[in-house]
Amino acid sequence: MTELSLNVLDVAENSVKAEATLIEISVCSDTAKDLMTIVIKDNGKGMDEEQLARVCDPFFTTRTTRKVGLGVSFFKLAAESTGGEFEITSKKGVGTTVTATFVISSIDRMPLGDMTSTMHSLITLNKDTDFVYSYKVNERGFVLDTRELREILEGVPFDVPDVSDYIKEYLSENKKETDGDIIL
């Protein structure tokens, strides 16, 4: 992976596969503390203790098409190599929360990359899953809640070109305003 946003896309796909109906993703940067925190929280089917214990093992996967499962391992490594931390908690039938912190100034921190593209792909490809995306840099930030969009759209789907373009613009314009002159 070359960007943190690709890790987010990959790990959030696990939530989709866990049949989550609501996935909350937050990217929160505090330049004074030199920390970026990324949280991916879902209400999917969760994992039992045995699965949870092995989830960071690259040679553990529930899939059958190949024998390795690298998504979570990559994300963990990306966080820990910056001097940050990684935590995953899960409860069967309740959901899973992945929390990764990154030391922003670390030479080993990957750029955040194109979060707009990650969120746009997740929202338009998983039309029946709701997302709450929160993006913060210091005191500025914005939230996109697909439940609010759904209410306004009254049945018009997210992947209709006009709506899809709107979502992309909403994400990219608000991110630009939130970032100001800070490059993450």
Partner 1 sequence: MKSLEELKAIREKMQGQVGMRHEDETTTRVVVGMATCGIASGARPVLNAFVEGVAAKGINDKVVVTQTGCIGLCQYEPIVEVMEPGKEKVTYIKMTPEKAAEVIDKHLVRGQVVAEYTFK
Q: How many residues does the structure list for the chain?
A: 184
Q: Which of residues 55-74 bind partner 1 (CB under 8 A)?
A: 63, 65-66, 69-71, 74
Cβ contacts of residue 23 below 8 Å, gap of 6+?
12, 15, 16, 40, 41, 42, 43, 122, 129, 130, 131, 132
For residue 150, the SS3 value is helix
Among 49, 87, 108, 148, binds partner 1 (CB under 8 A): 148
Q: Which residues of 108-131 are buried (b: 16+ CB within 10 A; e: fewer)?
A: ebbebbbbbbbbbbbbbebeebbb
The values of phi and psi at residue 83, to 5°, are: 90, 10
- Nearest partner of 5 among 97, 163, 160, 133, judged by Cα: 133
Binding window for partner 1 (CB under 8 A); candidates: 10-18, 20-28, 80-88, 91-99: 10-18
| Contact between 146 and 123 (Cβ < 8 Å) | yes
Among 111, 169, 180, 182, binds partner 1 (CB under 8 A): 169
Among 60, 81, 166, 184, binds partner 1 (CB under 8 A): 166
Among 60, 81, 142, 179, binds partner 1 (CB under 8 A): 142
Q: Provide, rounded to whole angstroms, the least separation between the CB of residue 177 and partner 1.
A: 6
- 84 vs 113, beta carbon nearer partner 1: 113
- Residues near partner 1 (CB under 8 A) are 1, 6, 9-10, 13, 17, 63, 65-66, 69-71, 74, 114, 117-118, 121, 124-125, 142, 148-149, 152-154, 156-157, 159-164, 166, 169-170, 173-174, 177
